[in-house]
Amino acid sequence: MVGFSIEAVRGQFPALSLTDKGRRRIYLDNPAGTQVPQAVADAVSRCLLTTNANLGGFFETTIAAQSVVDEAHHAMADFLGAASPEEIIIGANMTTLTYHMSRTLGRTLKPGDELILTRMDHEGNVSPWLQLAEDLGLVVRWLPFDEMSWQVEEAALSGLLSDKTRLVALNYASNLTGSINRVKALTAIAKQAGALVYVDAVQFAPHGLIDVQVLGCDFLICSAYKFFGPHMGILWGRREIIDGLKPYKCRCSSDGLPERFELGTPQIELMAGLTAAVDYFAQLGAAGGESGSRRQKIAKAFETCIAYENPLAQRLIDGLSDISGLTIHGITDPKRLGDRVPTVSFTVDGIVPETIVRQMNAENIFLWSGHNYAWEIVHQLGIPAEQGVVRIGIAHYNTAAEIDETLESVHRIIAMLRQQRS
Ligand SMILES: Cc1ncc(COP(=O)(O)O)c(C=O)c1O
């Protein structure tokens, strides 16, 4: 493929060539967290070693630290297509930021106001709103996903909206089924009813270009450690909305944007790594032939990554589909590959997912079992929550050979477990 060299990509991630007692590693735990390029680790280290200071002073290191913070906000504005870096709020992780914003929005809500939550979301975009509803006497309306399309349908959302709906919390892509919602269309419907729209893009961000202005939502959140950066979360908030909000904060801290929402001393060194992660995408785009702005390079990077990842996802789906008694919980139709990220979850009749995963982990194939906090999804699908699924999550640094080896392992382990039972 033009502009995408898997060798060049893998060469940037030192973790990919590590071995344990001589055994190679296959990282398919990517939906839970990705590996980082050398440049990200270097940026974190450089910041700690050369510009380590708190913010707001007049000496060399505090001035340099402020630049690190400013650059991270600029980088994320480019990454998300935000109108301004002032709309970028950086914090500990998606869950912490969402609890923070839910409490902030709670100050504008009253008993009887309605929230719409989906059965497709990760708990990080469910629990904060549920607990807010409990505290304030809000009404929660549940939006299921369609078990044929694996997406939240516009008609189902329309049926739940009312003149009391204040907020719709949606996910962009599921961390269990991998399916991508039509966020732009769903947002338009919710906005027409006067609701705010809060989008969880944690699982979409590593796999596709986000444009908050095109989506039209009010908030969008992601986590850098899912897109090859450090452990931190980033919340974009539409300026017209966040300008009028009063977060819980120290009285003497800044009222400016985004500082009003960023509590305490920021994770400055991780912000250095965040900028490096965004620049990693830009560099991928440049290698793909794009010479325009950082945003244009990021767009190109996703174009090349998607073209590389989708055939890998199909290879995985096809290989799993050969196994009798195995059910993939998500889109399998090759024509609908564009409606999913390359995260594939499955269950096997009569076998506990953890049993398969433990065996595969023992072969140094890294992947997860369980509900993975997609608590609502497993309940809607009738999957026992204490068991969940086996989840295989591909990133753009995985190879076809790794997928083949993984498939061979899944086939062999399932056959062995069945034989042990019989
Ligand atoms: C879809 C989705 N939303 C939210 C989260 C929570 O993110 P964080 O760990 O940054 O709080 C995750 C984590 O796996 C996720 O997959």
In tens, the pLDDT along 194-223 reads: 999 999 999 999 999 999 999 999 999 999
Per-domain boundaries in the chain? 6-36+294-417, 41-277
**pLDDT of the residue at 4:** 86
pLDDT per position as a tens digit, 237-246: 999 999 999 9
Rounded to whole angstroms, the Cα distance separating 124 from 355 reads 27
Query: What is the Å distance from ligand 1's center to 93 Cα?
Result: 8
Q: What is the CATH number of domain 6-36+294-417?
A: 3.90.1150.10
- Say if 6-36+294-417 and 41-277 have the same CATH topology: no
Q: Residues with beta carbon inside 6 Å of ligand 1?
A: 93-95, 122, 124-125, 171, 175, 200, 202-203, 223, 233
Query: What is the Å distance from ligand 1's center to 396 Cα?
Result: 19
pLDDT per position as a tens digit, 284-334: 999 999 999 999 999 999 999 999 999 999 999 999 999 999 999 999 999
Query: What is the Å distance from ligand 1's center to 31 Cα?
Result: 9
Residue 187, pLDDT > 70, answer yes
Beta bridge partners of 347: 327
Provide the mean pLDDT of the chain: 98
**pLDDT of the residue at 422:** 82
Residue 421, pLDDT > 90, answer no
Residue 1 or 354, more confident: 354
Rounded to whole angstroms, the Cα distance separating 73 from 86 reads 7
pLDDT band at 339; cut points 50, 70, 90: very high
Pocket residue to mutate for ligand 1, from 225, 373, 378, most atoms within 8 A of Cβ:
373
* pTM for the model: 0.98
Percent of the chain beyond pLDDT 90?
A: 99
Rounded to whole angstroms, the Cα distance separating 70 from 145 reads 39
Closest CA to ligand 1's atom 8: 94
Exposure string of 150-181, with b = 16+ CB inside 10 Å and e = fewer, is: bbbbeebbeebbeebbbbbbbbbbbbbbbbbb
Contact 60, 399 (CB under 8 A): no
pLDDT band at 2; cut points 50, 70, 90: low
**Residue spans of beta strands (DSSP E) within 30-94:** 88-91
Q: What is the CATH number of domain 41-277?
A: 3.40.640.10
Query: What is the Å distance from ligand 1's center to 21 Cα?
Result: 32
**pLDDT of the residue at 40:** 99
DSSP helix, strand, coil percent of the chain (3-state; round to 5): 45, 15, 35
Pocket residue to mutate for ligand 1, from 94, 99, 222, most atoms within 8 A of Cβ:
94
pLDDT per position as a tens digit, 257-280: 999 999 999 999 999 999 999 999
Ligand 1 nearest atom to the CA of residue 95, by list position: 11
